[in-house]
Structure 1
Amino acid sequence: MRTLLRLEDLYTKLLCFTERSDAIDHHSALGVLFEVLEVANRSDLKSDLLQELERQKRQLAAFHNNPEISETALDAVLDEIESASNGVFNMSGKFGQNLRENEWLMSIKQRTGIPGGTCKFDLPSYHHWLNQDAALRRHYLMSSLTPLLPIRDGLAIILKLLRESGKMHHYIAKNGAFQQMQCGRVAQMLRVSLDKALPCVPEISANKYMLNIRFIAADYVAKSALYNADVKFNLTFCSL
C-alpha cells in the first residue's frame, strides 16, 4: 500500500512537470521519472495489481441485482476496473524496461545521484536536449512515460476504491493525544483529516491491538513537540 501511495504521488508530479514548458520543469520531470523506476522496481507490481484488480472485480460483481445498488454506477466501476486490468496485463516486459535500455537516459540517471552532477559540462548532450523546443522535449517525455501509464491507471482505481470504502468518524484528541483499541479491526489505510488552520500534524502508530495518534506542533525551526491543546479530527478506516 505504501508503494502505491508513493507511486501515486510521483505520477502526479511527473505529469504536472511534463505538461509545463520550461526546461527546468522537464529536468524535474526526468528526475521524478527515475524515482518512479526505483520505487516500482522494489516489488512485483504488475502481478500484485492484476491480482487486486481481479479480486475487486469479483467482489463488486456480486452486487449485481442488489436493489440497494445502482446497476449503472456498478457497471461503470466494473468497466473501469476491466480497462485498467487489461492495460496492466498487456504491458510487455519488465516495468520500465524500455527506459533502462536507453543508454542516454541511464547516463543522466547515473549523474542525478551526484550533487550538481547534471551540469552542462558533465552532460553536454543533455544540455543540448534541454535547449530544444518545449514541444519536442514534451513529446520525448510523453513517449517515455506512456508505457508506464497502465500502472498509474491500475493503482488509481484501487486507491479510489480503498479511500471510498470506509466510514468517517469524528474524534477529539485531548491535549494532542488520541488512543483507541483496535478490537480486531483491520485496515489497509487510515485517513486523518483536520482543519488546515490548526498548527499541528498527525503522527500515527498502530498495531493489531492499539492505534495511537499524536498531534505534533507544526514548528519548522524548533524540535518537534506535542501540540498541547484539544484537536478535533476525522478518522476513516479504509479496507478493501
Structure 2
Amino acid sequence: MILYEYPFNERQRTYLRLEQLFRRLSELLEGESALDHHFALTTLFELLDVAARADLKADILKDLERQKNLLDSYRGNPSIAEEMLDHIIAQLDTAFTALNAQTGKTGQSLTENDWLMAVRSRMGIPGGTCGFDLPAYHTWKHLPCERRRDDLQRWSACFQPLSNALLLLLGLLRDTGVPQKVAASKGHFQQYLPAGRSFQLLRLRIDPELNLVPEISGNRLMVSVRLMRPDEAGKLQPTHEEAAFELTLCA
C-alpha cells in the first residue's frame, strides 16, 4: 500500500517537511560514497533553511506541553495502562527539556562555520561545487568514508533535540487516528467532518496495483479525494471508476 499524508494546517506541513528531511539525512549518512555524503550535506542545509523559522521552536514546545497535559488528564482511567502513560509522559518531558535548553535558532552553530557556509553558498549554483570552485570541499570528499560520516554526524547533532521532539509529536498524532475502509464513487470521495473536532492530518493508503494517484483537499468542514491516473505522457487524468482505499483522520 502507498501511504499519502495531507496536513490540514501550515504547522503540520512544516513538521512533515522536517520529518522527510530527517529521514533522508539518516538514510544518506548510512551510505559510503562521496555522492551520498554530498547529498547528506545538501539535506543538512535544507534543514537549516526550514528550522530557521522564528516560531518553529515555540510551536513544538507548545505542542509538547499540550500533549503532556492531555495525557496527564487520563490518569486514574481504568482503561489506561499507567506504566505506558508514565513512559510517554517521560519522553515528552525529556524532549521538552532538551529542545528548550537550546539557545538561539536551531542550527545556529552551523552558520558560524565559515567552511560550511562557503559550501552552502555554492550549492545554490548549478554545478557550483566543482573542484576548481571549492578545492577544500573537493578534498573533503576524498577523505575516508568514516571521517566524512563523523563530520556529518557532528554537524547534524544540533538538530537532534528538534528531531526527537518532532518524531515524538508526529507519532502521537498518527496514533490518534482509526483507519476506515472507504470507496470512491465515479473516482471521487467526499466526507463531512464532525463538528467540534479539529483534525490535523489525513492519512490515505491505496493499492499501487490500481495505478491511481489521489488528489486530496480538505478544511475544517470536509475532505475530498479525487482519484487520478497518469496517461502515457505522465499527465494525470480524472478517472470515473469505483476504487477502495483506507482513510485515517488524526486529531
Pick the TM interval, shorter chain.
over 0.9
Offset of residue 43 of structure 1: 4.3
Note if 1:187 corresponds to 2:203.
no
Per the alignment, do residues 219 and 87 of structure 1 end up closer, same or farther by CA in structure 2, a change over 3 Å counting?
farther
* Structure 1 segment 1-40 matched on structure 2, within 5 A: 1-40=12-51
CA distance in 2, matches of 1:94, 1:222: 41
> 2:243 pairs with 222, 226, 231, which one?
231
Count of aligned pairs between the two proteins: 239
The structure with higher relative contact order (CA 8 Å, sep 6+) is 2
Matched-pair identity in %: 42
Deviates more, 1:84-93 or 1:154-163: 84-93
> 1:63 pairs with 49, 74, 78, which one?
74
- Which residue of structure 2 aligns with residue 209 of structure 1? 221
> 1:128 pairs with 122, 139, 148, which one?
139
Note if 1:97 corresponds to 2:122.
no
Structure 2 spans left out of the alignment, 5+ residues: 1-11
Which digits, 9 at most, give the CA deviation of each residue in 1:192-222, with x for residues without a partner? Answer: 1111222011111112333211111144724
- Specify the SS of the correspondent of 1:69: coil
Task: Kindly report structure 1 stretches of 4+ aligned residues shifted beyond 4 Å.
Answer: none
Deviates more, 1:177-186 or 1:195-204: 177-186
- Which residue of structure 2 aligns with residue 167 of structure 1? 178
Structure 1 spans left out of the alignment, 5+ residues: none
- Which residue of structure 2 aligns with residue 119 of structure 1? 130
Which digits, 9 at most, give the CA deviation of each residue in 1:150-194, with x for residues without a partner? Answer: 000001111001001011221100121111223424310011111
CA distance in 1, matches of 2:142, 2:222: 55
State TM-score, norm by structure 2: 0.91
- Specify the SS of the correspondent of 2:217: strand
| Residues 193, 222 of structure 2: 8 Å contact kept | yes
| Residues 60, 74 of structure 1: 8 Å contact kept | yes
Per the alignment, do residues 51 and 126 of structure 1 end up closer, same or farther by CA in structure 2, a change over 3 Å counting?
same
CA distance in 2, matches of 1:221, 1:87: 49
- Specify the SS of the correspondent of 1:225: strand
* Structure 1 segment 131-150 matched on structure 2, within 5 A: 131-150=142-161
CA distance in 2, matches of 1:179, 1:43: 36
CA distance in 2, matches of 1:221, 1:45: 40
